[in-house]
């Protein structure tokens, strides 16, 4: 009887430890993904305008999407946490045709140019898939 009680208590303790660790892993991965997507927004804001809007851009021209697997951090013990990063750039409809829009001298007399740089981070915690996105508007 005491052996059965000891086994039951041990199993309940193990389940509690696993539940606590799972919650901690979820929090750690959420923090890592927040930091990564914030870094992605900073990159979209500071990359030179010409680099962001040309064929060599890290953001593919919409409807195309550039996709890559990235490491967003490491768990205790050195286990890497990976995610999939999707990037696309969308021209403003009022851009001139040379800048991907359908504007003209009447609708865009200053010849301004605007682009939305969109990044979507997709990652998993246990069986659930999470998405975080950031869009940065760049113009000149």
Phi, psi values for residue 41, rounded to 5°? -65, -40
Contact 86, 67 (CB under 8 A): yes
Phi-psi region of 41 (alpha: psi -120 to 50; beta: other; left: phi over 0): alpha
The predicted pLDDT at position 106 comes to: 87
Q: Which of 78, 64, 76, 75 is nearest to 123 (CA)?
A: 75
CA dihedral 9, 15, 18, 24 (to 10 degrees): -100
State pLDDT tens for residues 99-113. 888 888 888 888 899
pLDDT value at position 21? 55
pLDDT in tens, 17-47: 655 555 577 888 899 999 999 999 999 999 9
Spatial contact of 119 and 40, defined as CB atoms under 8 Å apart: yes
42: left (phi over 0), alpha (psi -120 to 50) or beta: alpha
Average pLDDT over residues 67-83: 90
């Amino acid at each position: 009887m005491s052996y059965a009680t000891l086994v039951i208590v041990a199993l309940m303790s193990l389940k509690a430890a696993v539940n606590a660790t799972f919650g901690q892993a979820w929090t750690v991965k959420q923090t890592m993904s927040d930091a990564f997507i914030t870094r992605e927004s900073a990159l979209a804001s500071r990359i030179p305008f010409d680099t962001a809007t040309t064929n060599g851009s890290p953001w593919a021209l919409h409807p195309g999407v550039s996709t890559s697997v990235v490491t967003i951090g490491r768990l205790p013990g050195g286990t890497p946490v990976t995610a999939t990063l999707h990037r696309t750039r969308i021209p403003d409809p009022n851009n001139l045709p040379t800048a991907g829009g359908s504007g003209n001298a009447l609708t865009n007399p200053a010849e301004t140019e605007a682009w939305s740089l969109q990044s979507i981070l997709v990652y998993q915690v246990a069986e659930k898939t999470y998405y975080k996105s950031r869009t940065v508007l760049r113009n000149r």
